[in-house]
């Protein structure tokens, strides 16, 4: 297949792209470039991809110009609605109307697309074992507890995860590091971190090293009531061989086993108890981290994901 990727995000470059085979041809033409229309028009004169691919918010500001251009060249668009279910009505639905096929990590959204007569398939996040793998630890990231996550005010359910996982650990006797956007320092929720805890934005190419340097990696999800949707960091952290502690959700329980592949907490007090216990049990941390990595490598790589939808992609 020939695939035109309309974004150059880390999710595509270090994730999704790894799921295609060596005989597939991938080219990137990010629509965030100022001259993307001229570049795309010129490219389509000399190269005929089988479909274009875009994810999430990446095409939201250019859809009005992008969709007619793709139609003029009879080029199907595959849209990965990575912000389902919370942004289904506001963003996924309008953008999906310009797509030939929609992929969603939230199974509960499939009947919603069907109701709108939009073709959609279940397609979750995953890991790339060639990138998401253990590395030599670095003193820059060494700590007891590590969270790599942005602060968002737009997802109310995320606050529940914060209160369960992060809040009880902020004032404890733990070496805690948080990487993400600067909203951790100032936001309208007044939920802020001290400069000692907040470490700035983590370059994505440093993610495996950071995850390999922490004793416990924390997980935070924007959705807590979906049967499938969870943060992409779940698969990435486990792929890197991290011991992963997160807050409970139906999706986490449906996909993984507690104290086998990862560990989940339902309450702030339980979070403290789990952290104190596992910080003193390096043997169990390593065992669970190894089993978690084996699980995601066995069932949750982007090769698995692409294979699950390849037949449909080849028939676009």
Q: Which domains does the chain have, with CATH numbers?
A: 2-125+302-314 (3.40.50), 143-299 (3.40.50.2000)
101: Cβ contacts below 8 Å, ≥ 6 apart: 51, 76, 78, 79, 119, 120, 121, 312, 313, 316
**Terminal alpha carbon distance of the chain:** 11
pTM reported for the whole predicted model: 0.96
Cis omega (within 30 of 0) for bond into 294: no
How many contiguous H segments (helices) and E segments (strands) does the chain have?
13, 11
> What is the spatial distance between Cα 123 and Cα 56, in angstroms, rounded to a whole number?
13
Q: Residue 186: exposed, middle, or buried by beta-carbon count in 10 A (0-12, 13-18, 19+)?
A: exposed
Looking at residue 51, its pLDDT comes to: 98
Report whether 6 contacts 29 (CB < 8 A). yes
Looking at residue 153, its pLDDT comes to: 86
pLDDT per residue as tens digits for the range 25-83 = 999 999 999 999 999 999 999 999 999 999 999 999 999 999 999 999 999 999 999 99
pLDDT per residue as tens digits for the range 126-182 = 999 999 999 999 999 999 999 999 999 889 999 999 999 999 999 889 999 999 999
């Amino acid at each position: 297949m020939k695939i035109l990727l309309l974004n150059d995000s880390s999710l595509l470059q270090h994730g999704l792209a790894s799921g295609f085979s060596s005989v597939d041809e991938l080219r990137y033409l990010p629509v965030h470039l100022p001259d993307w229309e001229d570049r795309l028009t010129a490219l389509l004169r000399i190269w005929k991809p089988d479909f274009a691919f875009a994810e999430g918010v990446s095409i939201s500001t250019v859809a009005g110009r992008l969709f007619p251009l793709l139609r003029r060249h009879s080029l199907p668009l595959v849209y990965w609605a990575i912000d389902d279910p919370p942004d289904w009505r506001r963003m996924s639905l309008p953008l999906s109307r310009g797509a030939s096929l929609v992929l969603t990590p939230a199974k509960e959204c499939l009947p919603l697309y069907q109701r709108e007569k939009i073709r959609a398939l279940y397609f979750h996040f995953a890991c790339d074992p060639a990138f998401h793998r253990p590395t030599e630890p670095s003193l820059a990231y060494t700590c007891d507890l590590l969270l790599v996550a942005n602060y968002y005010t737009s997802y109310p359910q995320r606050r529940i995860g914060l209160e369960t996982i992060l809040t009880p650990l902020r004032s404890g006797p733990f070496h805690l590091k948080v990487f993400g956007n600067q909203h951790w320092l100032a936001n309208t929720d007044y939920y802020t971190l001290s400069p000692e805890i907040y470490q700035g934005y983590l370059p994505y190419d440093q993610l495996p090293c950071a995850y390999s340097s922490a004793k416990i990696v924390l997980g935070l999800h924007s959705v807590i009531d979906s049967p499938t949707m969870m943060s992409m960091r779940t698969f990435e952290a486990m792929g890197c061989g991290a011991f992963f502690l997160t807050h409970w959700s139906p999706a986490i329980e449906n996909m993984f086993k507690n104290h086998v592949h990862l560990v989940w907490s339902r309450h702030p007090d339980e979070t403290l108890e789990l952290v104190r216990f596992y910080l003193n049990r390096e043997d169990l941390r390593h065992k669970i981290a190894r089993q978690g990595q084996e699980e995601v490598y066995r069932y949750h790589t982007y090769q698995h994901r692409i294979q699950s939808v390849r037949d449909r992609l080849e028939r676009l």
